[in-house]
Amino acid sequence: MSVRVINAEIKCCTPFYTFGENGAMTYPITPGQYNKLSINECVWFLATPDEKFKHYKAEYFNGRIYRIRCKVLKEYIDNNRHIKKLIKYNHEGKPRIIIPIEYLKEVGRIDEKIIQESGISGAGDSAYSTDADGKYIKDFSKNSTDNTNTSKKGTIGEFLMKQYFEENGAEYAEIQPDPYGKTDLKIGYNNDT
């Protein structure tokens, strides 16, 4: 059996609901982020809710997974980074480019209950912890004494996407050890199927 390995970048973000007719996602365009597009094959976006911002489109987007090939995203950035209405700045003043949903391919969805239980929505009460080996486990105990409780949105999102890929045809999905590394997940698919 031969396995094809895909280097993946995972972005967990609240969609920009009010952009255009169908909404949008955003992608950071700092030099470090831009350079990741030459190393990875695809970027997957996991749409997460913002508990502070209620919008009628939120229920539709919550848990949806979108994909774009890195080559296509790089071309989009190169062709549009000069258009001011497509640039947003985060709370640290770092630029992000707006990507209309039409440019992304919807590839799946994570159940809303799983999204809520994970704490990824910013509610701060994650049901995920790590065991002694650093592997993510479900822990619904409200009185957990686990000091390594995962609360970072990106880390929880990578874990949810790992589960998603493994439940949907991947031989494996391996979270990379460096949370700030160039690749978030390595996903192995059987070439023989």
Q: What's the number of CA atoms in the CB half-sphere (13 Å) around residue 171?
A: 13
Instruction: Say what the pLDDT of residue 155 is.
Output: 84
Q: How many CB atoms lie within 10 A of CB 140?
A: 9
Residue ranges making up the domain that contains 162:
3-190
Q: What is the pTM of this model?
A: 0.81
Please tell me the distance from the alpha carbon of residue 11 to that of residue 24, in angstroms, as a whole number: 13
Between 137 and 27, where is the model more confident? 27
Among the ranges given (26-30, 42-46, 111-115), the one the predictor scored with the smallest mean pLDDT? 111-115
Average pLDDT over residues 183-193: 86
Instruction: Say what the pLDDT of residue 112 is.
Output: 83
Compute CA 89 distance to the chain's CA centroid, rounded to the nearest angstrom: 19
Instruction: Say what the pLDDT of residue 49 is.
Output: 78
- Number of domains the chain is built from: 1
Between 54 and 113, where is the model more confident? 113
Q: What is the pLDDT of residues 68-97, one digit of tens each?
A: 999 999 999 999 999 999 999 887 888 999
Please tell me the distance from the alpha carbon of residue 19 to that of residue 85, in angstroms, as a whole number: 10
